[in-house]
Structure 1
Amino acid sequence: MTPTESRAAFSLAGIFSLRMLGLFMIYPVFTFYAEHLAGSTPTTVGLALGAYGLTQALLQIPFGFASDRIGRKRMIAIGLLIFAGGSVVAALSTTIYGVIFGRILQGAGAVGSTILALNADLTREESRTKAMATIGLTIGLAFALALVAGPVINAWAGVPGIFWFTAVLAILGIGVLYLVTPTPANIRSHRDTQAVPELFGRVLADRELLRLDFAIFALHAILTASFIALPSMLRTVLGIHQDWQWVVYLPTLAVSVAIMVPAIIVAESKRQMKPVFVASVAVLCIAPGILAFYRDSLVEILVLLTLFFAAFNIMEASLPSLISKVAPADAKGTAMGIYSSSQFFGIFVGGTVGGWAYGQFGTGGVFGFAALVGLIWLVIAAGMPKPRFARSHMVNVGAISDHEARRLAAEIEAVEGVFEAVVVPADQVAYIKFDGRVVEPDVLNRFAPSHSTPAPA
Structure 2
Amino acid sequence: MNPTERRALAGLASLYVFRMLGLFMVLPVLSLYGADYRGSTPALLGLALGAYGLSQALLQIPLGILSDRWGRKPVIFLGLAVFAAGSLVAALTDSVYGLIFGRILQGGGAIAAATMALAADLTRDENRGKAMAVIGASIGVAFVLAVVLGPLLAGFGGLSAIFWLTAILAVLGMLLVWRLVPNPPVNAAPRGPRQGDFARLLGQVEIWRLVCGVFFLHLLLTMMFVPLPLLLVDKLGIASEQHWKLYAPLLVGAFVLMVPLMRMAEKRQQVPAAMRLALLGLVFGGVALMSRVPGYWIVVCLGVFFLAFNLLEALLPAQLTRVAPAECRGAATGLYATLQFLGAFAGGSLGGVIYGWGGAPAVATFALGTLVLWSLAWWQMRGTRAGLASS
TM-score by length of 2: 0.90
Q: Does 1:342 align with 2:333?
A: no
Q: Indicate if the aligned counterparts of 2:75 and 2:111 stay in contact, CA closer than 8 A.
A: yes
Query: Among residues 370, 380, 385, which one is paired with 1:384 in the alignment?
Result: 380
Gaps of 5+ in 1: 391-418, 423-430, 434-457
Q: Indicate if the aligned counterparts of 1:283 and 1:307 stay in contact, CA closer than 8 A.
A: yes
Q: What residue in structure 2 maps to residue 416 of structure 1?
A: none
Q: What residue in structure 2 maps to residue 186 of structure 1?
A: 186
Residue 238 of structure 1: how far off its partner (Å):
0.8
Q: What residue in structure 2 maps to residue 77 of structure 1?
A: 77
Query: Among residues 261, 284, 306, which one is paired with 2:303 in the alignment?
Result: 306
Q: Does 1:356 align with 2:353?
A: yes
Q: What residue in structure 1 maps to residue 203 of structure 2?
A: 205
Residue 329 of structure 1: how far off its partner (Å):
7.3
Q: Indicate if the aligned counterparts of 1:355 and 1:366 stay in contact, CA closer than 8 A.
A: no
Moved more, 151-160 or 2-11: 2-11
Residue 330 of structure 1: how far off its partner (Å):
6.0
Change (3 A) 1:209 1:368: same
Q: What residue in structure 1 maps to residue 262 of structure 2?
A: 264
Q: What residue in structure 2 maps to residue 173 of structure 1?
A: 173
Higher relative contact order (CA 8 A, sep 6+): 2
Query: Among residues 224, 227, 249, which one is paired with 1:226 in the alignment?
Result: 224
Q: What residue in structure 2 maps to residue 45 of structure 1?
A: 45
Change (3 A) 1:70 1:319: closer
> What are the superposed Cα offsets for residues 76-107 of structure 1, whole Å, 9 maximum, x if unpaired?
22211110010010111111111111111111
Q: Indicate if the aligned counterparts of 2:136 and 2:316 stay in contact, CA closer than 8 A.
A: no
Q: Distance in 2 between matches of 1:196 and 1:32?
A: 49
Q: What residue in structure 2 maps to residue 316 of structure 1?
A: 313
Q: Indicate if the aligned counterparts of 1:22 and 1:169 stay in contact, CA closer than 8 A.
A: no
> What are the superposed Cα offsets for residues 349-388 of structure 1, whole Å, 9 maximum, x if unpaired?
111101100111112222222122112212333x314x23
Q: Distance in 1 between matches of 2:284 and 2:133?
A: 30
- Aligned partner of 1:384: which letter? Q
Residue 159 of structure 1: how far off its partner (Å):
1.1
Q: Does 1:278 align with 2:273?
A: no
More helix by share: 2
Mapping of 1:287-298 within 5 angstroms? Answer: 287-289=285-287, 291-295=289-293, 297-298=294-295
- Aligned partner of 1:247: which letter? K
- Aligned partner of 2:250: which letter? T
Q: What residue in structure 2 maps to residue 455 of structure 1?
A: none
Change (3 A) 1:264 1:336: same
Q: Distance in 2 between matches of 1:257 and 1:157?
A: 28
Change (3 A) 1:258 1:176: closer
Q: Distance in 2 between matches of 1:352 and 1:109?
A: 20
Residue 257 of structure 1: how far off its partner (Å):
2.8
Q: Distance in 2 between matches of 1:182 and 1:271?
A: 31
Change (3 A) 1:147 1:187: farther
More strand by share: 1
Q: Indicate if the aligned counterparts of 1:22 and 1:166 stay in contact, CA closer than 8 A.
A: yes
Q: What's the C-alpha RMSD, in Å, of the aligned pairs?
A: 2.7
Moved more, 196-205 or 218-227: 196-205
